[in-house]
Homo-oligomer: A and B are copies of this chain.
Amino acid sequence: MQTTGWFFFTCIHSCRPTVSADNYYSHRFTRYIVVRNKPVHNHSGKARIKDIAERANVSPGTVDRVIHDRGEVSKKTREKVLRIIRELDFQPDVVASTLASKKSFRIAVLMPRADRSSRFWESPATGMDDALNEIGHFGVRMDHYWFDYFDRSEFVRQARQVLQNKPDGVIVAPVFSEEAGDFAGKTIQHSIPLVFINACIAQQPHLAFVGQDAQRSGMVAAKLMYFGLGDKPVLIVNFIHKKGNQAHILEREEGFRKQYISNNKKADTILHSLQIDTASQTLVNNILGETLKDRPDIQGIFVTNSRVHRVAAFLEKVNRQDIRLIGYDVTKENKVFLARDTIDFLIGQQPWEQGYKSVMALFNHLVLKKEPKKTQHLPIDIITRENIEDYHNNK
């Protein structure tokens, strides 16, 4: 890749007109003339179907049939062609191929819509759009099937729609893990490649998973908390809707606990865990208020998802900004409290990248025929008041 530069370029342009010695074969009867001493590759340095055909003494059509496994080729020729393909390391020209086939790929995206309760899913969607913009020329199309983050039945309905429409590839956010598992199973049956975004159902076969290592993100949070607090007691808050199924949120707590305990030299570190199943600020205030009355020694709070702004609002209300607060995701609400330093750190999931990379994974598979990395863990971003602007800048 380093040495193909200037000289080579000159060569391309000056030599081209004289090199194209095509049509070595002309008729079925005369068969093909094997041209010895002819360079393996044509001027562009890459073997073409025509080159293969010449070498194999067959027509381009036959080579094409072999390449696409379209049958109608005798075993013997097939093998000869395959051998030569390997010999010349033939790689079909994606550009020409796209142009000729005019085939278009449809990617179905099954993910929560961004609503007032959380705008989180806006960013992945943007990332997907941006990716599509770069590769749309290859005939890749995208269809969105949105569902409400808390509406299990809508998920199921939309999933059914997706299957009915038989897309060429699927991206799914497995918010409801059981139903998503079913869905994943079915895509496999139809041999539709599937990419998990944001969370993963490891048991189900999939083309790729793009998202964060939940447990490790919890560990990072613990690290930050410990850095600021040392061996002081910490409260963990899970906002979990009882109908939702958020395995990866629990993993975050697990990671946090593991790390925090291992950091602490003293044995009496107190980690208190709290489940809150409500969106009402008043109720949150009550619950937290009582908890803090019970344990006035609590110096830090870790919230395992983006609803950390609820806790922040509470802390400001009771004037306890001294308590260290760490949560997830750069949302509009959280940004306000981060700016005021009530929230100390947010853990970011690089949502834009998640969208971008999921599309790219499918693109690589469908168009370029290259297998993407199966697990694409995104960096765990730590967002502070100071770096938040960059975070959104180029997304």
Contacts and interface: CB of A to CB of B under 8 A. Distances in A.
Interface of A: 1-6, 8-9, 12, 16, 44, 93-96, 98-99, 102, 104, 106, 108, 129, 132, 134, 137-138, 141-144, 165-167, 212-213, 216-217, 219-220, 222-224, 227-228, 259, 344, 348, 350, 360, 364, 368, 373, 375-382, 384-387, 389-391, 393-394
Contact of A9 (B9, B104, B217, B389): B104
A16, A98, A217, A387: residue with the most chain B Cβ atoms closer than 10 Å: A387
Given A5-B167, A6-B165, A9-B141, 16 more contacts: A1-B142, A5-B106, A5-B141, A5-B165, A6-B167, A16-B102, A95-B99, A96-B99, A99-B99, A212-B390, A216-B390, A224-B227, A227-B228, A376-B393, A377-B393, A379-B381
A380 B385 contact: no
Which 7 interchain pairs have the tightest Cβ spacing? A5-B143, A382-B382, A219-B386, A380-B387, A6-B165, A377-B390, A220-B386
A4 B141 CA distance: 7
Contacts of A350: 379
A132 B4 CA distance: 13
A378 B350 CA distance: 11
Copies in the complex: 2
Contacts of A259: 386
A271 to B, nearest CB: 17
Contacts of A385: 223
A269 B360 CA distance: 49
Contact of A129 (B1, B102, B217): B1
A256 to B, nearest CB: 10
A317 to B, nearest CB: 23
A30 to B, nearest CB: 30
Contacts of A144: 2
A63 to B, nearest CB: 19
B386 A379 contact: no
A220 B384 contact: yes
